[in-house]
Structure 1
Amino acid sequence: MRAKTSRRLVIDASVARAAGGEGATYPLSKHCRDALRTVLDVCHRAVMPPAIREEWNKHQSVFASQWRVAMVARKKLILEDTRPDPMLRGEVEAASSSEAGREAMLKDVHLVEAAQASDRTILSLDDAARGLFAGASRRVRALRTIVWVNPGSEADRARDWLDGGAPPEAAYRLRPGAPRA
């Protein structure tokens, strides 16, 4: 049996909020639950600097809370702070074509900063933010290194991708005209 690749993943609170328990039947709840379970089982680690922890504290489901306890018990939760990147933030602000887009990206730029400080991978249900960052990647080269996967999307095959080691596939990278964004 081959060893599984362990990656450091930034998991947005949107996934924590949507993750349903064992009896969940709604597809989004099941997909998010299964993605979190796979992160735990495959030996991936979750990156949770303070800003992300605060969002999780406000929005996590009962299942996500239990998952988080299991991650802590297995020493798979990375709680180190990531510093704001003023240059990235400035480039993101300048790359936005609208005030609403700028505000939305600045609201979620901490996800990108945490991803840059780890394995450049984000799990999030927020396809609107994904699309904004993909569009901004025309002008912000650093964004093109970020992998963004939506565990609620059938097209992203998140569970299989996570089980396969969460490789930085080109199809998931933020880039201009990305078909998944």
Structure 2
Amino acid sequence: MTGAIMSFVIDADIARSSGMTEHPVSSGARKLLETVSAGGHKAAMCPALRKEWRDHKSNFATRWMASMVAKKKISFIAPDKKIKTYIENHVPDGNDKEVALKDSHLLDAALSVDKIIASNDEKARVVFCKISEGNGEIGTILWFNALTDRDFFCSTLMSGGFIPKNYYLCPD
């Protein structure tokens, strides 16, 4: 991936928490957004994610988004709903299904671009890893947390380095 322009699906929780404070969550989210922009990469947004961003973005994320739109670095996509349909048909009713359906649009969007999601929602990540046992396509998606994976995201991923299995949405 070195030198390649990548498209990231960036969850609205990153937009909401990216602020100007040095709190680890705020600074991690901000650094992730800055790294995507500085690297010339793109963000991909489906209609559901775009609405979440509009409803929850911070002042920093508002400026970041405006800058990315001006640079034509936002891809507005309309992915199919394969993962959502899979969840509806194959995941038993309960908490896991509820969590997965709430964020299924992130996976559907990621499968339409470069299969990379940035989100701080570890609960959703765990559920998707569990669900990937029955759907191998989910296991091809990378998931990064702006707080715990910030250094890896900003250095190794952006330079095209090796990505260990633990960043993929697959069972351990």
Relative to the length of structure 1, the TM-score reads 0.86
Identity %: 34
Query: Where in structure 2 are the equivalents of 1:65-76 lying within 5 Å?
Result: 65-76=62-73
> Deviation at 1:168?
5.4
Gaps of 5+ in 1: none
Q: Which amino acid aligns with 2:22?
A: T
Map of 1:139 onto structure 2: 134
Question: Is the partner of 1:174 in helix, strand or coil?
Answer: coil
Separation of aligned partners in 2, 1:83 and 1:91 = 12
Q: Which amino acid aligns with 1:13?
A: A
Map of 1:63 onto structure 2: 60
Contact 2:43-2:73 at 8 Å conserved across structures: yes
After TM superposition, the runs of 4+ consecutive aligned structure 1 residues lying more than 3 A away are 93-98, 165-169
Quick check: 1:152 aligned with 2:147? yes
Number of equivalences: 171
Map of 2:12 onto structure 1: 13
- 1:171 counterpart (149, 166, 170): 166
Q: 1:161 to 1:20 in 2, by over 3 A?
A: farther
Question: Is the partner of 1:10 in helix, strand or coil?
Answer: strand
Query: Where in structure 2 are the equivalents of 1:26-175 lying within 5 Å?
Result: 26-85=23-82, 88-93=83-88, 95-96=90-91, 99-154=94-149, 157-165=152-160, 169-175=164-170
Contact 2:39-2:158 at 8 Å conserved across structures: yes
Contact 2:77-2:109 at 8 Å conserved across structures: no
Separation of aligned partners in 2, 1:9 and 1:45 = 6
Contact 1:147-1:169 at 8 Å conserved across structures: no
> Deviation at 1:64?
0.5
> Deviation at 1:83?
2.4
